[in-house]
């Protein structure tokens, strides 16, 4: 009889312990989710204000550019081609560093005979304002487009929009608003931030509910009819190539996907220049965008 009473008293106690543990876990889960929601911009954006190098340090002629925007300014580089009436590449960089972190890539792309315009989003490099936000970097890209088309007088069809990583999502957004652009090239780009985060330690969180900086390239690329090239290294461990394939599948024709053997997240043009530039130059030729450029790689 005493043993039966002990078992009766024990079951409610065990139940209370389990319930308390579950409540604690639920509270911790909620706290982490709220913390990630609050800190997502600090996790996503990593601007650097110091420029380590300029195109001149790499032997390129260039013009520093300052663009006023909402009481701030965007700072960038205009790297002209030696070919008259060359196409122009509007380069949108990723979430970290600044233009100087992309100087070597600018040098490589300038070797194709294209004009290059690269700039920093607000809060990056010598651009003022910030902190960066998805809506603001879209506005920054639009300001860069306006500079090329209205202030430099370049025909929209002579501008190829190029974006790396997060900048690829920015490029997709810009191209969706300018169907008169000559073309769109993305490198190491994801379908959305949620898709990119889904393979990280954050995957167990309700990302679609808490992520507000979405950079949803997949939903925007469906409506883009300009020629599209998606470049992606098969050794990219940050954004795996399967995500590039998903973005490619979401895109409307005309489109091309070039998987660069051995290429990582940032070095495809360096570790496999032959494949990288064959894809870029082939894309430009296929859509008659490269008639005024030189295949120097």
* C-alpha span between 189 and 244 (Å, rounded): 6
Residue by residue, pLDDT tens for the chain (297 residues) are 454 454 445 567 777 777 766 666 556 656 665 666 556 778 789 999 999 999 999 999 999 999 999 999 999 999 999 998 899 999 999 999 999 999 999 999 999 999 999 999 999 999 999 899 999 999 999 999 999 999 999 999 999 999 999 999 999 999 999 999 999 999 999 999 888 766 655 665 666 666 778 899 999 999 999 999 999 999 999 999 999 999 999 999 999 999 999 999 999 999 999 999 999 999 999 987 654 555 555
CA 199, 204, 210: angle at the middle one, nearest 5?
95
CATH topology of domain 46-286: Rossmann fold (3.40.50)
| CA distance readout (Å), 178 to 96, 145, 279 | 26, 9, 23
Q: Using DSSP, state whether 262 is helix, strand or coil.
A: coil
In 115-265, which ranges are E strands? 115-119, 159-164, 183-187, 228-233, 255-260
Residue 248 Rama label (left phi>0; alpha psi -120 to 50; beta):
alpha
CA 193 from chain centre, in angstroms, equals 10
pLDDT at 8: 47
Whether residue 221 contacts residue 172, with contact meaning beta carbons closer than 8 Å, is answered with yes
pLDDT at 194: 84
* C-alpha span between 69 and 296 (Å, rounded): 36
Counting every residue written for the chain, the total comes to 297
Whether residue 246 contacts residue 166, with contact meaning beta carbons closer than 8 Å, is answered with no
In 128-245, which ranges are E strands? 159-164, 183-187, 228-233
With 0-12 CB in 10 A as exposed, 13-18 as middle and 19+ as buried, what is 7? exposed
Report which of 139, 154, 54 is spatially closest to residue 104, judged by C-alpha positions: 54
Rounded to two decimals, the pTM is: 0.87
Task: Delimit the domains of the chain by residue range.
Answer: 1-44, 46-286
* C-alpha span between 212 and 207 (Å, rounded): 9
Strand bridging mode 159-164 / 88-92: parallel
189, β-bridge pairs: none
What is the strand order of the sheet 72-79 is part of?
63-69, 72-79, 115-119, 88-92, 159-164, 183-187, 228-233, 255-260
Radius of gyration of the chain measured on its C-alpha atoms? 24
Type and span of the H or E element at 125? none
């Amino acid at each position: 009889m005493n043993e039966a009473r002990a078992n009766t008293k024990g079951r409610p106690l065990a139940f209370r312990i389990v319930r308390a543990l579950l409540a604690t876990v639920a509270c911790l889960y909620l706290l982490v989710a709220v913390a990630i929601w609050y800190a997502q911009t600090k996790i996503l954006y990593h601007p650097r204000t110091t420029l380590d190098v300029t195109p001149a340090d790499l032997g390129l002629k260039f013009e520093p550019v300052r663009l006023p925007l909402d009481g701030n300014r965007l700072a960038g580089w205009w790297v002209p081609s030696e070919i008259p009436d060359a196409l122009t590449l509007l380069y949108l960089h990723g979430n970290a560093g600044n233009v100087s972190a992309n100087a070597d890539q600018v040098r490589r792309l300038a070797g194709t005979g294209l004009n290059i315009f690269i700039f920093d989003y607000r809060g990056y490099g010598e651009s003022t304002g910030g902190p960066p936000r998805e809506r603001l970097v879209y506005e920054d890209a639009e300001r860069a487009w306006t500079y090329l088309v209205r202030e430099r007088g370049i025909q929209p069809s002579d501008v190829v929009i190029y974006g790396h990583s997060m900048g690829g999502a920015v490029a997709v957004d810009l191209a969706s608003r300018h169907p008169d652009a000559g073309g769109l090239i993305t490198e190491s780009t994801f379908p959305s931030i949620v898709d990119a985060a889904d393979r990280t330690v954050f995957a167990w969180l309700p990302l679609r509910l808490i992520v507000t900086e979405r950079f949803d390239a997949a939903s925007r690329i469906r409506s883009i009819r300009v020629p599209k090239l998606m470049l992606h290294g098969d050794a990219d461990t940050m954004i795996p190539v399967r995500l590039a394939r998903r973005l490619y599948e979401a895109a409307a024709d005309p489109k091309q996907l070039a998987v660069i053997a051995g290429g990582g997240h940032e070095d495809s043009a360096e570790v496999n220049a032959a494949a990288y530039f064959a894809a870029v130059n082939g894309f430009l030729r296929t859509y008659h965008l490269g008639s005024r450029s030189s295949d120097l790689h």
